[in-house]
Amino acid sequence: MSVLVDRETRLVVTGITGREGTFHATNNKRYGTQVVAGVTPGKGGQEVEGIPVFNTVQESVDKAGANTAMIFVPPRFAADSILEAADAGVRLIIAITEGIPAHDELRVYTQLRRNPDVRLVGPNCPGILSPGKASVGIIPASFFRQGNVGVVSRSGTLTYQIGNELAQRGFGNSSIVGIGGDPVPGSSFIDIIELFEQDPETEIIVMSGEIGGSAEEEAAEYIAANVTKPVVAYIAGFTAPPGKTMGHAGAIVSGTAGTARAKQEALEAKGVRVGRTPTETAEIAMEILGAK
Amino acid sequence: MSVLVDRETRLVVTGITGREGTFHATNNKRYGTQVVAGVTPGKGGQEVEGIPVFNTVQESVDKAGANTAMIFVPPRFAADSILEAADAGVRLIIAITEGIPAHDELRVYTQLRRNPDVRLVGPNCPGILSPGKASVGIIPASFFRQGNVGVVSRSGTLTYQIGNELAQRGFGNSSIVGIGGDPVPGSSFIDIIELFEQDPETEIIVMSGEIGGSAEEEAAEYIAANVTKPVVAYIAGFTAPPGKTMGHAGAIVSGTAGTARAKQEALEAKGVRVGRTPTETAEIAMEILGAK
Amino acid sequence: MDLLEYQGKQLFARHGIPVPSGKPAKTVDEAVAAADEIGYPCVVKAQVLIGGRGKAGGVKIAKDRAEATRHATDILGMDIKGFTVHEVWIEGASQIAEEYYASIVFDRSAKAPLVMLSTRGGMDIEAVAEEDPTAIARLHVDPLLGFQDFHGRKLAFAANIPADLVRPVGAMLTKLYAAFEAEEAMLIEVNPLIVTPERDVKALDAKVTLDGNSLFRHPENAELRDPSAEDPQEQMAHERGLTYVKLDGDIGILGNGAGLVMSTLDVVAQAGGAPANFLDAGGGSKADAIVSAVEVILSNEKVRAVLFNIFGGITRCDEVAKGLIEAFDIVKPEVPFVVRLDGTNDVEGRKLLADANLPNVATATTMNEAAEKVVELAKTGVAA
Amino acid sequence: MDLLEYQGKQLFARHGIPVPSGKPAKTVDEAVAAADEIGYPCVVKAQVLIGGRGKAGGVKIAKDRAEATRHATDILGMDIKGFTVHEVWIEGASQIAEEYYASIVFDRSAKAPLVMLSTRGGMDIEAVAEEDPTAIARLHVDPLLGFQDFHGRKLAFAANIPADLVRPVGAMLTKLYAAFEAEEAMLIEVNPLIVTPERDVKALDAKVTLDGNSLFRHPENAELRDPSAEDPQEQMAHERGLTYVKLDGDIGILGNGAGLVMSTLDVVAQAGGAPANFLDAGGGSKADAIVSAVEVILSNEKVRAVLFNIFGGITRCDEVAKGLIEAFDIVKPEVPFVVRLDGTNDVEGRKLLADANLPNVATATTMNEAAEKVVELAKTGVAA
């Protein structure tokens, strides 16, 4: 088992004819993901590396049976592309695009929330990897192998770093889910932790957070109330000075709330162990798995 | 029993300090309805005929326990007033106001539909009367008495006409519900017929429709599939020339669909008897009740 | 409220929707001056609030000034299905490669705007809809989310618009929707939406219906109502805040509430009579509204008898009686009246009427009885 | 993107939000001319992207020209918490009867705009929030429905705004929300929102943060970025499309992905070092981006050692290695580098570096090892 993407995933890639879209769609396909379609308006009927291209997401659903969409269009078109995928009946939408206007994200989130059957992961996320089954997005899949650690992270490269630390210690992953660091992520830590809790393959959950917002604090409450599996956390941004933007819009620190320290304390208060570095985080996970 | 309004109704009247608002709120109270509050922004703390006035609907809910709102504000403020009532947790909103812009109605309808706990009746409707229990709106209540005929109607005065025809023949009403003739009514024939079907006091349902739209045709389908009680219908507008507006925005005839004839045929095809005049409609109802 | 074609095009232009340029004209001189300014060939188009003007000879191409003069002379003053042409619109002739159809309708049944697109424009779209419903792509829009770019693509691909036109046609739909929403329209229809040989997309016609209830938010649109295009009686009623529709018969009808008035028309027709009008005096009618209503009804010379059918709710019967008494004092009608009063304050109203003892006014206690009486009076001048 | 006060007020004015009139000035002469034009008394206000300028002496009332000259001279060039004042805003002095607080925040936690209103304006709102949270009325808005009139009333009554001001304050909130939405703001704050003795409502201050990602839709706002208000290194980075934040330490940091870079700062700090900057080279960094990044990092003279921490995903390690080699060729850095490459094409990247044999470049296989090495190098110039 794993969460969200697996051998049943039938992926449509919007923006497939762009340079990056082609590169990563091809990578995902090569990994073994069923990439059944691409969408680029006006290029319907073409093919990209053997993947048929359609004019609309609706066509990719009707004709190629797509059930998952990866959004790879430029930021100004991404909200429209996500709404199109949802309208076409796609149940899981994974938005890689970085730099989507925050108000676009807000509109999309508010609209999608009205349909509980549709799940958005991202935007501004590296995607989802279920090692040995399917890779959707830009996670360098060859570094990870199948196992029992579920990883959920707001940061792309930090996800790889932590996954890699685990891999070097011999641990594999059920799934690695990047939820993105944008102001309005489609899925929260809680949403993904809930899935890992239900996933039989996952034995331990590693969550990687960062400064800004309150998603980690909310996850702490949720974990204490609902999660039976061990959770280990990492928080980036202890060194960030207050009031400075650190690249993610999600990383605006306002006052004390949202600091790395506040998040660490909130998690530890609920019994979640927090590693001080990616390495220490991996070591704690290892220790817990060893102790089981 | 009865539907929607009864002795449990705790009414707040928005626009209570207006001339018509005061007149009808007082009338409703005199009939026995629990009129617990009025709302006029800036006039909180005043009283209207012994009814306390609040600044916001929220206050009327919090302090006077209002559970039903009657909207009596001028058309340009009505959409806002309906949304305010819904936001304040009022479960039943009865909008009397006539002349609300159609796009306002559309926004309100779309927003309220997202909350299945809130029901809007109207706008541009005469209100709801459950004889002997409560009267909310402008229906001349003294003409009607308690009984077993449920009436639902798009037109105000036509409702009184039909109710009166029944009363003259000795029949009373469980409830009389005006749904209004506007482009986007909050409740449809189907919504109210569903309630009458479940109401033990109601033995027969009279629906009064008119030209325009397709609400009567949709009701015919619903009745055939879901209603066990006898339904008698009346349709106004056989003499209306196509393409002419007859006062209600709801009464724009386009082509053949939406004509009185088409509605009559749709209803009769599903076994619903249609009276040619209000008098004949009352006679059919009488005949069915007598036959029972 | 329906707009004339050129008013619709001016509204379109405000929202950045490409339309041919043109000028309105009310006289032949104005029309020829406009044609000279626009250049030849140009099109002289009758401005009337009714369809089918092309077939009726209300749209003509002018190659030169002589033709422009001739067409303007022919069309101005022309009668099209009962509507007199008071104005023409002169516009530059467009090169047409394709004729499409686009519209946005306030769909009451779905309770959402419905956007439609077809490549089969330039003809009667209802006939297309009947003959081949799949030729028209349709899409409902969530009014709180609004029209999205993908909606435009979805419609365009579904309607088989050529790939190079998907983007401009989608952009046109986006702007039409923005106009529909911003101007609070009930209908926006473009037939034909043309493609020029240069592959530009333009609205060659414009049918716009606005929501009369929203005009307080759109003062510039409220001014567009063209009284000269309305029937004089309807215009008088409108000025007095009454809802009045003129019909072909000889029995004047007044009631309160649109449903009851429609029902009254039906009952009168069933009794063998022919209603002369629909008149809804509205909720809460006061005496002076009744006076105005009587004046409007009697301004139609065909009227041979008048039926008042009132069931009081928000309207009080005593107010109606007072208004009727006052109207008789002012107007001194020569035709017989039948009055039926029921509902709020009916006892008081009936007593007022009885005390006033108006000439030629009969009363009735039911709607059917009232209808029968007035039909008889219209035929014979004597109540049955 | 933060706006200066006067830019925020000009944005407000575009949306019909009442603000005092004024003029910006960059020199004392300009300031005095503006003061003469506006009239006395007027206020000379430092324009800096940092709060607390009042306490720092950056806001002064001028009764006459002599005072205006003195204040402009004092304030222009002044340092406020590390920000140099390059510009002042001269505005007419306002009569103040009441000072309120209003703001709209893009609330990430609730995923909805949060509107706040309080009668306790003119002071540090965070202090008010801590001392008496009930003094601030709060309301989340459904972004698809938008701000409704009743929201304004609800907030105004909840904040105990006097009855005569409920309508104008509500109208102000409606306009602020319209501006928030139309301009795609992340924050709009008015503190104080004043009531004049004539009971007019005005925005006496304006704090506006726009969403940098949306500027392509707002070209007029994109032009407001004031490079002179930014740190020179940050400005250089911005021009080159890099996300760079200057910090106080001496170890230059480059990584790919904000999370990894933040983590790198933490690990360096834990190892006893002090980072000189945050620099995210972004996803898919190409060689020339790396060259730019090295230039930006080294333009900070405090930097004594540089750490490259790359975990390739969309970024390919060979591209990073190529960029580093090219940068050494162009910039010829004098400080030592530690490079850690993992992820996509890491083998190729490491080989390129090994073959290039750059002077003063050490490699590391883990993040911790890299951090320890660079801290040691910054201290001693020699790797541990």
Asked if residue D13 is part of any domain, the answer here is no
At residue B251 the predicted structure's pLDDT band, cuts being 50, 70 and 90, is very low
Mean pLDDT computed over D80-109:
91
Note whether A56 contacts C150, CB cutoff 8 Å. yes
C115, C215: one domain = yes
Counted domains in chain D: 3
Flag whether B97 is marked binding: yes
C81, C210: one domain = no
At residue D380, the pLDDT reads 84
* Residue A46 C-beta-side C-alpha neighbours within 13 Å: 14
At residue D315, the pLDDT reads 84
- Tell me which amino acid residue D139 is: L
Tokens of B275: 């009276």
Asked if residue C201 is part of any domain, the answer here is yes
At residue D281, the pLDDT reads 84
Radius of gyration of chain B (CA): 18
Asked if residue D3 is part of any domain, the answer here is no
Contact call for residues D148 and B84 (beta carbons, < 8 A) = yes
> Choosing among D115, D144, D145, D150, which should be mutated to test the B contact, i.e. which has the most B CBs within 10 A?
D150
C363, C236: one domain = yes
- CATH code at position D36: 3.30.1490.20
Contacts of D166 in chain B (CB under 8 A): 41-42, 55
Contacts of C144 in chain D (CB under 8 A): 144-145
What distance in Å separates the CA atoms of residue D258 and residue C238, rounded to the nearest whole number? 66
Residues near C181 by Cβ (< 8 Å), separated by ≥ 6?
B103, C113, C143, C146
Mean pLDDT computed over B61-71:
98
- CATH code at position C328: 3.40.50.261
Radius of gyration of chain D (CA): 25
At residue D285, the pLDDT reads 67
What are chain D's partners, defined as 3 or more CB pairs within 8 angstroms? A, B, C
Identify which of C277, C338, C345 has the alpha carbon closest to the alpha carbon of residue C309.
C338
D162 lies within 8 A of chain B by CB: no
Mean pLDDT computed over B11-20:
94
What distance in Å separates the CA atoms of residue D49 and residue C314, rounded to the nearest whole number? 61
Tokens of C203: 């609205």
Give me the residue label for tokens 């969550």. A207
Asked if residue C108 is part of any domain, the answer here is yes
Identify the domain boundary among D66, D92, D118: D92
Q: Are strands D59-62 and D98-107 parallel, antiparallel or unpaired?
A: unpaired
Identify the domain boundary among D170, D200, D223: D223
What are chain C's partners, defined as 3 or more CB pairs within 8 angstroms? A, B, D
Nearest by CB: A111 against C145, C164, C166:
C145
- Tell me which amino acid residue C108 is: R
Asked if residue D239 is part of any domain, the answer here is yes
- Tell me which amino acid residue D258 is: A
Alpha-carbon separation of residue A59 from A117, A137, C163 (angstroms): 20, 22, 15
The three-state (H, E, C) secondary structure of chain D, written as one string: CECCHHHHHHHHHHCCCCCCCEEEECCHHHHHHHHHHHCCCEEEEECCCCCCCCCCCCEEEECCHHHHHHHHHHHCCCEECCEECCCEEEEECCCCCEEEEEEEEEECCCCEEEEEEECCCCCCHHHHHHHCHHHEEEEECCCCCCCCHHHHHHHHHHCCCCHHHHHHHHHHHHHHHHHHHHCCEEEEEEEEEEECCCCCEEECCCEEEECHHHHHHCHHHHCCCCHHHCCHHHHHHHHCCCEEEECCCCEEEEECCHHHHHHHHHHHHHCCCCECEEEECCCCCCHHHHHHHHHHHHCCCCCCEEEEEEEECCCCHHHHHHHHHHHHHHHCCCCCEEEEEEECCHHHHHHHHHHHCCCCEEECCCHHHHHHHHHHHHHHCCCC
Contacts of B87 in chain D (CB under 8 A): 150, 154
C104, C206: one domain = yes
D374, D246: one domain = yes
C-alpha distance from B154 to closest chain D C-alpha (Å): 28
Question: Which residue in chain C has the smallest CA separation from B109?
Answer: C111
C-alpha distance from A177 to closest chain C C-alpha (Å): 28
The catalytically annotated residue of A153, A248, A266, A285 is A248
Note whether B59 contacts D157, CB cutoff 8 Å. yes
The dihedrals phi and psi of A57, each to the nearest 5 degrees, come to -65, -35
What pLDDT, in 10s, does the model give residues B43-56?
999 999 999 999 99
C-alpha distance from D175 to closest chain A C-alpha (Å): 17
**Is B248 considered catalytic here?**
yes
What pLDDT, in 10s, does the model give residues D325-377?
999 999 899 999 999 999 888 999 999 999 999 888 999 989 999 999 999 99
Note whether D144 contacts A213, CB cutoff 8 Å. no
* C192 SS3 class: strand
Question: Which residue in chain D has the smallest CA separation from A140?
Answer: D313
A128: which strand partners? A136, A177
At residue B253, the pLDDT reads 35
D33, D78: one domain = yes
At residue D228, the pLDDT reads 61
What pLDDT, in 10s, does the model give residues B67-111?
999 999 999 999 999 999 999 999 999 999 999 999 999 999 999
What distance in Å separates the CA atoms of residue A253 and residue A249, rounded to the nearest whole number? 10
What are chain B's partners, defined as 3 or more CB pairs within 8 angstroms? C, D
The catalytically annotated residue of D6, D100, D101, D177 is D101
Mean pLDDT computed over D271-293:
86
C281, C343: one domain = yes
Contacts of C145 in chain A (CB under 8 A): 83, 107, 111
D252, D376: one domain = yes
Domains of chain A (ranges; CATH) run 10-121 (3.40.50.720), 144-291 (3.40.50.261)
Nearest by CB: B87 against D150, D163, D164:
D150
Q: Are strands A34-39 and A51-54 parallel, antiparallel or unpaired?
A: parallel
At residue B181 the predicted structure's pLDDT band, cuts being 50, 70 and 90, is confident
At residue A190, the pLDDT reads 97
At residue D378, the pLDDT reads 92
At residue A132, the pLDDT reads 95
Q: Which of residues B135 and B1 earns the better pLDDT score?
A: B135
Question: Which residue in chain C has the smallest CA separation from B75?
Answer: C213
Q: For chain A, percent helix, then strand, then coil, each to nearest 5?
A: 40, 25, 40
Q: Collect the ranges in chain A with pLDDT lower than 70.
A: 242-257, 291-292
The catalytically annotated residue of C87, C189, C295, C372 is C189
Q: What region does D252 belong to: left with phi over 0, alpha with psi -120 to 50, or beta?
A: beta
Q: Determine the structural domain holding residue D185 and report its residue range.
A: 98-223
Nearest by CB: B56 against D148, D153, D167:
D153
What distance in Å separates the CA atoms of residue C175 and residue C161, rounded to the nearest whole number? 18
Note whether D145 contacts C145, CB cutoff 8 Å. no
Nearest by CB: D109 against A126, A213, A241:
A213
At residue C287, the pLDDT reads 80
At residue D229, the pLDDT reads 59
Note whether B76 contacts C126, CB cutoff 8 Å. no
Does D260 have pLDDT greater than 60? Answer: yes
C-alpha distance from C70 to closest chain A C-alpha (Å): 48
C198, C273: one domain = no
C-alpha distance from D148 to closest chain C C-alpha (Å): 13
Mean pLDDT computed over B31-48:
96
C83, C133: one domain = no
> Which residues in chain C (300-339) have CB-CB distances under 8 A to chain B?
311-315
Contacts of A257 in chain D (CB under 8 A): none
Contacts of C166 in chain A (CB under 8 A): 41-42, 55
Identify the domain boundary among C191, C223, C255: C223
Q: Which of residues C384 and D291 earns the better pLDDT score?
A: D291
C258, C371: one domain = yes
C-alpha distance from A19 to closest chain D C-alpha (Å): 12
The catalytically annotated residue of B29, B119, B154, B248 is B248
Looking at chain B, how many residues does it have?
Answer: 292
What are chain A's partners, defined as 3 or more CB pairs within 8 angstroms? C, D
Asked if residue D204 is part of any domain, the answer here is yes
Contact call for residues A160 and D315 (beta carbons, < 8 A) = no
pTM: 0.91
> Choosing among D1, D49, D225, D266, which should be mutated to test the A contact, i.e. which has the most A CBs within 10 A?
D266
Identify which of A193, A133, A123 has the alpha carbon closest to the alpha carbon of residue A156.
A123
> Which residues in chain D (223-242) have CB-CB distances under 8 A to chain A?
none
The three-state (H, E, C) secondary structure of C35-81, written as one string: HHHHCCCEEEEECCCCCCCCCCCCEEEECCHHHHHHHHHHHCCCEEC
Asked if residue D2 is part of any domain, the answer here is no
D218, D301: one domain = no
- CATH code at position C133: 3.30.470.20
Q: Nearest 5 degrees, angle CA D146-CA B119-CA C143?
A: 35
C-alpha distance from C233 to closest chain B C-alpha (Å): 15
Q: Collect the ranges in chain C with pLDDT lower than 70.
A: 226-230, 283-285, 381-384
Looking at chain D, how many residues does it have?
Answer: 384
At residue C234, the pLDDT reads 77
C8 lies within 8 A of chain B by CB: no
Nearest by CB: D150 against B59, B84, B107:
B84
Note whether C243 contacts B247, CB cutoff 8 Å. yes
Flag whether B14 is marked binding: no
Asked if residue C5 is part of any domain, the answer here is no
